């Protein structure tokens, strides 16, 4: 059996000259074919990715051992490469961006580029997606935009940003990212109310960098 045209195309991506014009494969296909999906708490969900070359998933908590997530390759008769990601007993920590990408297009130095789907797992007891302490230390140069990453598990949640004096700070909010804007140096908290219950994040601390940055200049409260 001869090599497929896609095999020659992928090989061409590693060559120079005219081949480089044709080495861009179409993005992998993800099913369900949706931009975002809300999944019921403690339910299971499956994401299927297929492409013309070997594909992999990037997903929340990937660096943590999570027995609720299984990733496996599947064979079919279409000639495509298929990878399936399955989550059982979904919880708030599974809220986030799931990206399917071609293995040969990624390196340690580049960001993952592929086909995305964003999953929400609303939890009435966990309003904000759990985050690591390091995510609460934010550095920015003067006048640069900063993202305060208080993401919600429910896309319908209404979130307020408070400063250290508990005064409301008006800024653009995206439930997939958090608050985005130009903020003064200081502490900020995110707050939301779900079914009459108030939730607040621990403080996010923004450090404004002026001149040459040296981590030793700062003493962290954590």
3-state SS of 54-87 is CEEEECCCCCCCCCCEEEEEECCCCCCEEEEEEE
Over the stretch 138-163, which tens digit does the pLDDT of each residue have?
Answer: 999 888 999 999 999 999 999 999 99
Over the stretch 42-94, which tens digit does the pLDDT of each residue have?
Answer: 999 999 999 999 999 999 988 777 779 999 998 877 889 999 999 999 999 99
Which tokens belong to 168? 């409301």
Q: What is the percent of the chain with per-residue pLDDT over 90, rounded to a whole number?
A: 68
Which tokens belong to 166? 């508990």
Nearest to 106 by CA among 13, 21, 20: 13
Residues 6+ apart with CB under 8 A from 6: 25, 52, 53
Which tokens belong to 214? 């040296």
Which tokens belong to 204? 């996010």
Q: Dihedral, CA atoms, 173, 178, 181, 182, nearest 10 degrees?
A: 140
- Residue 211 is predicted with a pLDDT of 61
pTM: predicted TM-score of the whole model, two decimal places: 0.81
Q: Is residue 107 a contact partner of residue 175, using CB atoms and an 8 Å limit?
A: no
Q: Is residue 94 a contact partner of residue 121, using CB atoms and an 8 Å limit?
A: yes
- Which region, left, alpha or beta, applies to residue 100 given φ > 0 means left and ψ of -120 to 50 means alpha? beta
Q: Tell me the mean pLDDT in the region 167-178.
A: 97
- Residue 79 is predicted with a pLDDT of 85
DSSP code at position 215: G
- Residue 16 is predicted with a pLDDT of 42
Q: Tell me the mean pLDDT in the region 168-175.
A: 97
Regarding predicted confidence, which is higher, 144 or 108? Answer: 144
Regarding predicted confidence, which is higher, 62 or 214? Answer: 62
- Residue 109 is predicted with a pLDDT of 63
- Residue 23 is predicted with a pLDDT of 57
**What b/e string do you get for 107-140 counting C-beta neighbours within 10 Å, with b at 16 or more?**
eeeeeeebbbbbbbbbbeebbbbeeeeeebbbeb
> Which residues pair with residue 37 across a beta bridge?
119
Q: Which of 3-17, 87-101, 189-203 shows the lowest mean pLDDT across its residues?
A: 3-17
All domains in the chain, ordered by first residue: 30-120 (2.60.40.10), 133-213 (2.60.40.10)
- Distance linking the first and last C-alpha atoms of the chain: 61
CB-count burial class (<10 Å; 0-12, 13-18, 19+) for 21: exposed
Q: Tell me the mean pLDDT in the region 181-198.
A: 96
Q: 216 pLDDT exceeds 50?
A: no
Q: 192 pLDDT exceeds 90?
A: yes
Q: State the chain's mean pLDDT as an integer.
A: 86
> Which residues pair with residue 169 across a beta bridge?
161
Q: Tell me the mean pLDDT in the region 118-131.
A: 97
Which tokens belong to 15? 């060559």
């Amino acid at each position: 059996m001869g090599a497929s045209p896609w095999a020659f195309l992928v090989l061409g991506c590693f060559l120079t000259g005219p081949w480089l014009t044709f080495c861009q494969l179409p993005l992998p296909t993800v099913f369900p074919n949706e931009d975002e999906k809300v999944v019921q708490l403690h339910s299971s969900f499956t994401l299927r990715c297929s492409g013309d070359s070997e594909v992999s998933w990037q997903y929340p908590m990937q660096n943590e051992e999570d027995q609720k997530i299984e990733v496996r390759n599947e064979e079919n008769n279409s000639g495509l490469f298929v990878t399936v990601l399955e989550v059982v007993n979904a919880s708030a920590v599974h809220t986030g961006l799931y990206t399917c990408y071609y293995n040969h297009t990624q390196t340690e130095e580049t960001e993952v580029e592929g086909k995305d789907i964003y999953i929400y797992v609303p939890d009435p007891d966990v309003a904000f997606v759990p985050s690591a302490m390091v995510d609460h230390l934010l550095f920015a140069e003067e006048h640069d935009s900063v993202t305060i990453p208080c993401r919600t598990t429910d896309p319908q949640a209404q979130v307020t940003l408070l400063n250290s004096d508990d005064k409301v700070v008006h800024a653009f909010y995206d439930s997939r990212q958090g608050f985005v804007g130009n903020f003064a140096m200081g502490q900020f908290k995110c707050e939301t109310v779900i079914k009459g219950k108030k939730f607040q994040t621990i403080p996010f601390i923004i450090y404004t960098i002026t001149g040459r940055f040296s981590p030793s200049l700062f003493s962290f409260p954590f």
